[in-house]
Structure 1
Amino acid sequence: MQLTHELPDFTYSLRAASGRSARVNDIELQRSFWLTPDTLVQDWPVSGVGELTLEHLQPVLEQNPALIVLGTGDTQVFPSAQLMAACLGRGIGLEVMNNAAAARTFNILASEGRKVAAAFILHG
């Protein structure tokens, strides 16, 4: 059987993610970031879920995703109910999970051509 390596038809793919670092394509990241299949913002000024506000999510929301995958570090930590309601009020789903699961989920949804964005909180 011949195997072929399929390259994604989008620009940015997550190769690894933990609570302290992530690899997007060949870029090693040590600070919180967000991305869509074709956009990467490497310096997202969020160091914990407790400080996350709608203002922090605004640039992600402006990408008009159908879903935002929020990676909250090594463990799943939910943001405030107000923040989750603000996303839902705009018709945008917000799925919260640890960073490793968020990376896998983002890649699957992006490969399906879905309008997805992901935000990852990294703890230095």
Structure 2
Amino acid sequence: MDLSLERPDDILFVRRVSEHAITVVDRDLTGSFLLTPRQAVENWPVTDAGMLDASHVDALLALEPELVVLGTGSRQVFPAAAFMAGFLRKGVGIEVMDNAAAARTYDLLAGEGRHVVAAFILPEA
């Protein structure tokens, strides 16, 4: 049986994850960013999960997600409760994981046509 990977041409997907860069389609991004199936928002001003607070929620909610996948770097780090609560108050799910797991989860959900937003935290170079 032949297996082949088919990706819709009209969505952005993560191809590769390393400690200091994430490749979206064929472009390496080296700073933190937000990703939806239709757009990448570069220069997200977060370099550490400890920086996240309630003030960062609006930027993610503006992208109208049904679910947010937060990649916190090379390891899973939970942000402050105030940040997490901002999504729960609006009825938007949020999952926290390392960047590699977040990329796999985002790709799966985006491929299913879900309104997912992935927020990837990359350390400053």
Length-normalised TM-score, structure 1: 0.91
Distance in 2 between the 1:19 and 1:52 partners?
20
2:73 equivalent in structure 1 = 73
Number of residue pairs the alignment of both structures matches: 124
Distance (whole Å) between structure 1 residues aligned to residue 57 and residue 85 of structure 2:
13
- Deviation, 1:59, is 2.0
Question: Where does the alignment leave 5 or more consecutive residues of structure 1 unmatched?
Answer: none
Q: 1:59 — aligned with what?
A: 59
Moved more, 1-10 or 31-40: 1-10
- Matched residue of 1:57: which SS? helix
**AA in 2 matched with 1:67:** L
Matches within 5 A, 1:1-124: 4-123=4-123, 124=125
User: How far does the alpha carbon of each residue in 1:33-71 deviate from its partner, in whole angstroms, 9 at most, with x for none?
Assistant: 011000101211101011112333322211211110000
- Contact between 1:13 and 1:107, CA under 8 Å: does it hold in 2? yes
Q: In structure 2, what residue type is equivalent to 1:63? A: L
Q: Deviation at 1:78?
A: 0.2
Tell me how far apart the structure 2 counterparts of residues 5 and 94 of structure 1 sit (CA, whole Å): 27
Deviation at residue 3 of structure 1 after TM alignment? 5.3
Instruction: Give the CA deviation at 1:94.
Output: 0.8
3-state SS, counterpart of residue 74 of structure 1: coil
Residues 89-119 of structure 1: CA deviation (Å, up to 9, x unaligned): 1001110000000000000000111110000
Moved more, 9-18 or 92-101: 9-18
User: Structure 2, unaligned stretches of length 5 or more?
Assistant: none
CA deviation map 1:9-30 (0-9, x unaligned):
5421001123311000111011
Q: Normalising by the residue count of structure 2, what TM-score does the alignment of the two structures yield? A: 0.91
Q: Percent identity?
A: 49
